[in-house]
Amino acid sequence: MNMIDNPDQAKRLARAILSDVAMYNKDKVESGIKNDTIFDLLKEELEEGRQHFLSRVSEDINPEIIYGTAVVDVLIKRAGKIESSIW
């Protein structure tokens, strides 16, 4: 399998992975946003997604930054409608 070296393709992959994490863990996402514990509750899922992402993406395009940005965009920003003391 070829490594992804296109930043746009890497961003799409990161978003897809994190969309799956969010979809399969709706209760954890909601609880984590409400109680400001999302990273604790999803620690294993986020790490599994991160490892999968890093196995597919070239180091040349800063995959850690791309994945981290996708975490915020997909898990945090999309949960903006959930009532929480963090906003």
Per residue in 32-85, pLDDT (tens digit) is 988 989 999 999 999 999 999 999 999 999 999 999 999 999 988 776 677 766
The answer to whether position 1 is within a domain reads no
pTM for this predicted structure:
0.89
pLDDT of residue 11: 98
CA-based nearest residue to 13, from 50, 60, 59: 50
Please report the sign of the dihedral spanned by the C-alpha atoms of residue 71, residue 77, residue 81, residue 86: positive
65 assigned to some structural domain: yes
- CA dist list (Å): 58 to 26, 28, 61, 64, 72: 30, 30, 6, 11, 21
- pLDDT interval class at 14 (50, 70, 90): very high
Task: Give the mean pLDDT of 24-29.
Answer: 95
CB atoms within 10 A of CB 8: 10
**Structural domain that includes position 38:** 7-79
Domain count, the chain: 1
Is 21 domain-assigned? yes
Quote the pLDDT of residue 85. Answer: 64
pLDDT higher than threshold 60 for residue 87: no
- Fill in the amino acid letter for 83: E
